[in-house]
Chains A and B, each alone.
Chain A
């Protein structure tokens, strides 16, 4: 059966359920949003149905461009940091004994049970002047007096990476634990130092998994909404904040829908580009 193309209604039955779910909860809402993005706003009211590219034209403001670039920049930076830290971290976990692996994974998964609001306030507390970690550094004599590090760009980046890190590890864990332990050993017998082995063989043979996790963290972080408002200043607000602002506080649903559609197209293009780069360097299949 496997490999055969499904024929007739009977063979297609199993995919009806996921197809309906996908349609109802993804395609139809997206269609509604796409439609609204072409509608005209009624001031004081809702919107009037029409076909109007006005909303898309209104996107091309310096403010929107700045927020868009910032959102993409901080998401990409968060993805790179999470994977750069998460990959070696996960590699060391997979080399541990089974029991130790479980403890680490459970600890990481427990982070997922925290809401973004709690994480945001926890970090703003840690980075605050009154009760934050800088007091500890003053105690150690590393700093002269306590400082407030939040809200700031770095506070936001810390918070975003903290949220993204468990997901990174969970995405990287299966391919890394399947890695043949003889591969790094073979590299060592061939003369590669442990560090060289890690970069040429472990990273090299798992490039696909690394690209996949970069894309995942990037897309995941693009949608962040709560953390920028807790840990960032207004200039650190991401596009999600701007879209919400437009939709709820300015009641301009058509413009916010247009923003969301445009944002999605840009991020899809970036994801496609990343996957293209990830694939490009593998050996040609003749």
Chain B
């Protein structure tokens, strides 16, 4: 039998009656990676995590960990660590007792438990908090205790369900870095569910994008997902995209908005005449003042300039279609509202999407 390390999800489906929660999931998550399940709310990413944790039973499909089938193993035998969105810290236990819960359940002797509590509190930078009551901790501290509790048994998989959503923006950014560095230090396979793409891109080795159809749309490194979106949903959901609909006219040219656009690469076997969508990232588009003629130029009127200091976005109305471009303040194009301008779409930046 072919041995595979890591977590494999095979043809996984979960229905609640006639409601689809997750369907057609086939994934392989290699050992030691940091993976984010990213998607809008209701896409089934939390259900997928709960299936992996054993808190839900799949309607169909198998879950394999290091080639052994764990689909029918109950949650308490899987030796995974999980951090819940509500954190689910035990309110009747102290910080130390919360962290040592999994050790006590496994009948680890007390001196050993104490040592592990101290180690973990050191790890999450809360030394000396063992005797505190949960209600005496701030949101960020509770977060750390929940992480320490999940890591107490050195779990085979570390699962986190929207772990940072309750924290304020500043603390969240700090915790993202901390979580990532913790994972790199421990080399533990980690899966985080999030709807925040910035969070996903900050932390993960791999991102799994799920859509409103409760399926996986793409899995790849953060840059792959951003640069080479698999379909229009991913292009639209991750960052901002200009999505231009048109037809492939063959020979690396597309008919879009009444113009012909040159494209650098085309998916293999794309027949001319096929309906396609061209995705261009705002930062790849340059804006020139006035109506210039040339390759891949679209003409329009500047409708809005959004200057937020760190970047400048220019909204261009091209015959009723809105093009958004983004540039640094240093390279800000010399245009203002109601000016005529030209958007240049470099052929290399035009990604062809067929679905």
Task: Name B133's contact: one of A182, A197, A283 (CB within 8 Å).
Answer: A283
Which of B85, B91, B136 is most buried by chain A, counting CB atoms within 10 A of its CB?
Answer: B91
Task: Name B102's contact: one of A191, A201, A284, A285 (CB within 8 Å).
Answer: A191
- CB <8 Å contact, A205 and B75: no
* Chain A residues with a Cβ closer than 8 Å to the other chain, count: 25
- CB <8 Å contact, A180 and B153: no
Which B residues are in CB contact (< 8 Å) with A190?
Answer: 76, 81, 101-102, 105, 149-150, 152-153
- B46-59 toward A: CB 8 Å interface, digit per residue (1/0)? 00000001110000
CA distance A18 to B285 in the complex (A): 74
Of all chain B residues, the one with the shortest Cβ separation from A184 is: B88
CA distance A185 to B93 in the complex (A): 16
Which B residues are in CB contact (< 8 Å) with A194?
Answer: 76
Which B residues are in CB contact (< 8 Å) with A196?
Answer: 105
Which B residues are in CB contact (< 8 Å) with A180?
Answer: 86, 88
Q: Say whether B106 faces chain A, with CB atoms less than 8 Å apart.
A: yes
CA distance A200 to B136 in the complex (A): 22
Task: Name A191's contact: one of B88, B91, B106 (CB within 8 Å).
Answer: B106
Q: Say whether B92 faces chain A, with CB atoms less than 8 Å apart.
A: yes
- CB <8 Å contact, A182 and B76: no
Q: Say whether B84 faces chain A, with CB atoms less than 8 Å apart.
A: yes
Q: Say whether A189 faces chain B, with CB atoms less than 8 Å apart.
A: yes
Q: Say whether A193 faces chain B, with CB atoms less than 8 Å apart.
A: yes
Which B residues are in CB contact (< 8 Å) with A205?
Answer: 90-92
Q: Say whether B247 faces chain A, with CB atoms less than 8 Å apart.
A: no
Within residues 92 to 110 of chain B, which ones have a CB less than 8 A from any CB in chain A?
A: 92-94, 97, 101-102, 105-106
Given contacts A189-B75, A285-B133, contact A183 B88 (CB under 8 A): yes
Of all chain B residues, the one with the shortest Cβ separation from A204 is: B92
Which B residues are in CB contact (< 8 Å) with A286?
Answer: 131-133, 136
Q: Say whether A192 faces chain B, with CB atoms less than 8 Å apart.
A: yes
Which B residues are in CB contact (< 8 Å) with A200?
Answer: 101, 105
- CB <8 Å contact, B75 and A188: yes
Q: Say whether A282 faces chain B, with CB atoms less than 8 Å apart.
A: yes
Task: Name A188's contact: one of B76, B90, B91, B149 (CB within 8 Å).
Answer: B76
Q: Say whether A186 faces chain B, with CB atoms less than 8 Å apart.
A: yes
Which of B79, B88, B101, B150 is most buried by chain A, counting CB atoms within 10 A of its CB?
Answer: B88
Which B residues are in CB contact (< 8 Å) with A201?
Answer: 90
Q: Say whether A116 faces chain B, with CB atoms less than 8 Å apart.
A: no
- A165-195 toward B: CB 8 Å interface, digit per residue (1/0)? 0000000000000001011011111111110
- CB <8 Å contact, B88 and A282: no
Which A residues are in CB contact (< 8 Å) with B102?
Answer: 190-191
Given contacts A190-B105, A193-B76, A285-B136, contact A185 B92 (CB under 8 A): no
Q: Say whether B82 faces chain A, with CB atoms less than 8 Å apart.
A: yes
Which A residues are in CB contact (< 8 Å) with B131?
Answer: 283-284, 286
Of all chain B residues, the one with the shortest Cβ separation from A183 is: B88
- A261-286 toward B: CB 8 Å interface, digit per residue (1/0)? 00000000000000000000011111
Of all chain B residues, the one with the shortest Cβ separation from A187 is: B101
- CB <8 Å contact, A186 and B76: no
Of all chain B residues, the one with the shortest Cβ separation from A201 is: B90
Which B residues are in CB contact (< 8 Å) with A187?
Answer: 90, 101, 105
CA distance A160 to B280 in the complex (A): 76
Which A residues are in CB contact (< 8 Å) with B93?
Answer: 204, 283
Distance to closest chain B CB from A266 (angstroms):
30
- CB <8 Å contact, A182 and B90: no
CA distance A257 to B81 in the complex (A): 62
CA distance A40 to B55 in the complex (A): 70
Distance to closest chain B CB from A13 (angstroms):
35
- CB <8 Å contact, B86 and A182: yes
- CB <8 Å contact, B76 and A191: yes
- CB <8 Å contact, B105 and A192: yes
Of all chain B residues, the one with the shortest Cβ separation from A179 is: B91
Distance to closest chain B CB from A64 (angstroms):
41
Distance to closest chain B CB from A182 (angstroms):
4
Which A residues are in CB contact (< 8 Å) with B74?
Answer: 188
Distance to closest chain B CB from A42 (angstroms):
57
Given contacts A189-B76, A190-B101, A192-B105, contact A207 B149 (CB under 8 A): no
Distance to closest chain A CB from B25 (angstroms):
20
Given contacts A189-B53, A192-B76, A285-B136, 10 further A-B contacts (CB under 8 A): A180-B88, A182-B86, A185-B75, A188-B54, A189-B81, A194-B76, A196-B105, A283-B133, A285-B133, A286-B136
- Top 10 nearest A-B pairs by Cβ distance? A182-B88, A186-B88, A190-B102, A189-B82, A188-B75, A182-B84, A283-B94, A205-B92, A191-B105, A188-B76
Interface residues in chain A, defined as those with a beta carbon under 8 Å from any beta carbon in chain B: 180, 182-183, 185-194, 196-197, 200-201, 204-205, 207, 282-286
Interface residues in chain B, defined as those with a beta carbon under 8 Å from any beta carbon in chain A: 53-55, 74-82, 84-86, 88, 90-94, 97, 101-102, 105-106, 131-133, 136, 149-150, 152-153, 159
